[in-house]
């Protein structure tokens, strides 16, 4: 299958398609497979999963500039709206399938541990900056930036601005 | 399951704590002069590498404290 054949296959679908590029020897692919199949079953009839063996279609990978597997392409109306390389958790897969159904890119998510680490470090820097007699602005700004980075994915202003920027770029 | 994260959880927490301590020593005036300036800057290194989870030095030396 080449890129135009894949495109033809995808444009004939009435619902979103998630294309997974995998290989039998790929350990992360095998690790992700049960969660991917489970998620595909949950979204069956609404989002389709198309699995392509990378070993059998090297030209297609080259045409699509796929350099690592597993890679998921989210295709809506035959157009790629999102791609992600690397093994994903069940939660991440659910988010990707749900966003494909909505026809939009998945919102970025942070793991709780990362959120906690960023928030804690941000708070510590802010407190440090405020507690010091010189109240260094750089530390306060760094602390504020870190604190925001802990919750940016939930900020409606950030989402609106980033969606606008992506709309301008694409 | 990000493969580029080469630091374990404990490694990351320790780095963040050490970074904040170094910054506190530098910016708080506990260490002054050239060393104080050095700490003010170098404190960001363990802080940022701990938050990001990726250490370039680890990558060069092919070390991974994250066994996942």
Backbone angles phi, psi at A45, to 5 degrees: 90, -15
Tens of pLDDT along A95-147? 899 888 888 777 666 778 888 999 999 999 999 998 888 778 888 999 999 99
Element spanning A22, H or E? strand A17-22
State the smallest CA–CA distance between residue B61 and chain A in angstroms: 23
pTM (predicted TM-score): 0.61
Q: Which residue of A88, A117, A124 is in closest CB contact with B13? A: A117
pLDDT of amino acid B2: 61
Mutation for testing the A interface, residue in B8, B11, B24, B68 having most A CBs under 10 Å: B24
How far apart (Å, rounded) are the C-alpha atoms in residues A25 and B25?
Answer: 50
Strand partners, A19: A50, A73
State the CB neighbour count (10 A cutoff) for residue A122. 21
Q: Which residue of A32, A89, A128 is in closest CB contact with B23? A: A128
Tens of pLDDT along B5-48? 889 999 999 999 999 999 999 998 899 999 999 999 999 999 99
How far apart (Å, rounded) are the C-alpha atoms in residues A37 and A40?
Answer: 5
Residues of B in contact with A118 (CB under 8 A): 51
- The ipTM is 0.79
């Amino acid at each position: 299958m080449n890129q135009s054949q894949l495109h033809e296959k995808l444009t004939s679908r009435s619902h979103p398609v998630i294309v997974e590029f995998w290989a039998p020897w790929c350990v992360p692919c095998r690790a992700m497979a049960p969660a991917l199949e489970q998620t595909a079953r949950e979204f069956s009839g609404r989002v389709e999963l198309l699995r392509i063996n990378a070993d059998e279609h090297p030209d297609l990978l080259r045409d699509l500039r796929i350099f690592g597997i597993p890679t998921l392409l989210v295709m809506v109306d035959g157009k790629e709206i999102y791609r992600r390389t690397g093994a994903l958790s069940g939660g991440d897969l659910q988010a990707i399938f749900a966003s494909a159904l909505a026809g939009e890119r998945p919102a970025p998510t942070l793991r709780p541990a990362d959120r906690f680490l960023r928030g804690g470090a941000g708070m510590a820097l802010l407190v440090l900056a405020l507690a010091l007699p010189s109240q260094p602005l750089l530390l306060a700004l760094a602390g504020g930036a870190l604190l925001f980075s802990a919750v940016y994915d939930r900020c409606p202003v950030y989402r609106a601005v980033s969606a606008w920027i992506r709309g301008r770029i694409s | 399951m990000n493969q580029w994260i080469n630091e374990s959880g404990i490694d990351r927490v320790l780095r963040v704590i050490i970074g904040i301590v170094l910054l506190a020593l530098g910016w708080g005036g506990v260490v002054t002069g050239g060393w104080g300036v050095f700490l003010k800057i170098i404190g960001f290194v363990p802080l940022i590498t701990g938050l990001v989870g990726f250490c370039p030095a680890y990558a060069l030396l092919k070390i991974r404290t994250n066994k996942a």
